[in-house]
Amino acid sequence: MEILTISKAAIQAGVGVETIRFYERKGLIRQPLKPQNSGYRNYPSDTVKTIRFIRQAQELGFSLREIEELLALKADPATDCADVRERAIEKLEEVERKISQLYKMGSALKSVIASCPSRGGLDGCSIMEALESSSSESER
Amino acid sequence: MEILTISKAAIQAGVGVETIRFYERKGLIRQPLKPQNSGYRNYPSDTVKTIRFIRQAQELGFSLREIEELLALKADPATDCADVRERAIEKLEEVERKISQLYKMGSALKSVIASCPSRGGLDGCSIMEALESSSSESER
DNA sequence: CTTGATTCAGTACTATGGTACGGGGTTTAT
DNA sequence: ATAAACCCCGTACCATAGTACTGAATCAAG
């Protein structure tokens, strides 16, 4: 297994050096071996994979906190595939809910555009109405 | 039209009092009338609708800055229609960009879920594999 | 062996979107 | 009329996801 300095690891993973240290501080990647006479990190190439995993999961809409959980599942030999699948399904549902709302918003905007040929009267401007009717709301 | 104190408005809109003042500072909602002998805000119920709109739009991935622009579309019917129309078109494009982004996320999640055996250890978990092996470089 | 590049830890700073607090003034209910 | 509850403004603080900077230590090349 190849050993990498932080900057080599950063290049291979496609992130900045600071980002790696940031992930380490956040507990997303563990601090690698540091040789006794140096404080320098020596990364196994596994770490590069982990970082890529993080970026990939971010692309799918997972937050770093959620990714941390995914990584914990990954590290636990008792984890069943269904656990991971469950999280992916939840995320998919989240994504799909957003898409459908954006569709509504898109049609509201289209109707605004259509009903506004070139002269006054924005009475048909109903972006809010379109959204109001579709939202019974989340708590905080 | 009902008149509300800030806390009543906050409750109706499902946000905190501080959030309303924050939106006001940000220019998302306008400061309401304040009776002469009091510094207290008196909100029309319209404001509640605006706040709900803001929350809704945020859920869809709009930033407060973008939402401010969306709100500007709805406001002021005296504005030239063509101008409003232009901004509406821009927002529509933004919405469509968001949809396609989320769509990509959704398909990625779906394909990963579909190929998951949904039981067993992670050795055979295609979701984890997908997250790891993907060397699609998004550059930064 | 010296120079320049890299790395270290720690902290500060960015932007976004709030949330909390402190020390007042105002309203309202009893 | 007095206490509880509410509201004011300003400022400080929180999380998220990094990015930048500092001064000292270490490493790699000539």
Q: Find the mean pLDDT for residues A51-77.
A: 91
| Mean pLDDT value across chain B | 83
Q: Find the mean pLDDT for residues B90-113.
A: 88
Burial state string for A88-108 with b = 16 or more CB within 10 A and e = fewer than 16:
beebbebbbebbebbebbbeb
**How far does the CA of B64 sit from the C1' of C13, in Å?**
22
Query: Which pLDDT band holds residue A101 (cuts at 50, 70, 90)?
Result: confident
CB B9 within 8 A of CB B20: yes
Which residue of chain A has the CA closest to B59?
A98
- Highest mean pLDDT: which of A117-121, B17-21, B45-49, B104-108? B17-21
Rg, chain B, Cα only:
22
B122:A96 CB<8 A: no
The residues near B8 (Cβ < 8 Å, ≥ 6 apart) are B43
Q: Which of B139, B72, B133, B53 is nearest to A49 (CA)?
A: B133
Strand D nucleotides, any atom under 7 Å from protein beta carbons: they are: 6-9, 16-21, 25-27
Which residues numbered 56-75 in chain B sit less than 7 A from strand C, measured from CB?
58, 63-65
Between 1.10.1660.10, 1.20.1440.230, 3.40.50.300, 3.60.20.10, what CATH number should domain A1-79 receive? 1.10.1660.10
Nearest to A125 among B74, B78, B121 (CB): B74
Q: Give per-residue pLDDT as tens, A122-135.
A: 555 555 665 554 44
Please give the residue that has the higher pLDDT: either B74 or A80: A80
**How far does the CA of A131 sit from the C1' of D4, in Å?**
39
CATH 1.10.540.10 fits B3-133, yes or no: no
| Range of weakest confidence among A55-69, B30-44, B120-134 | B120-134
- pLDDT score recorded for residue A36: 72
A135 touches strand C (CB under 7 A): no
**CATH 1.10.1660.10 residue spans of chain A:** 1-79
Q: Which of B61, B60, B57, B59 is nearest to B73 (CA)?
A: B57
Query: Which pLDDT band holds residue B77 (cuts at 50, 70, 90)?
Result: low
User: Looking at CA atoms only, how far is residue A2 from chain B in angstroms?
Assistant: 17
Q: Find the mean pLDDT for residues B114-134.
A: 76
- pLDDT score recorded for residue B137: 40
C7 nearest neighbour residue (CA to C1'):
A40
**How far does the CA of B46 sit from the C1' of D1, in Å?**
37
Task: For Cα atoms B31, B63, A121, give the angle at the middle one, nearest 5 degrees.
Answer: 60
Cβ count within 10 A of residue A38: 8
A60:B105 CB<8 A: yes
Q: What percent of chain B has pLDDT over 70?
A: 88
Q: Find the mean pLDDT for residues B100-116.
A: 87
B135 touches strand C (CB under 7 A): no
Cα A48 off chain centre by:
18
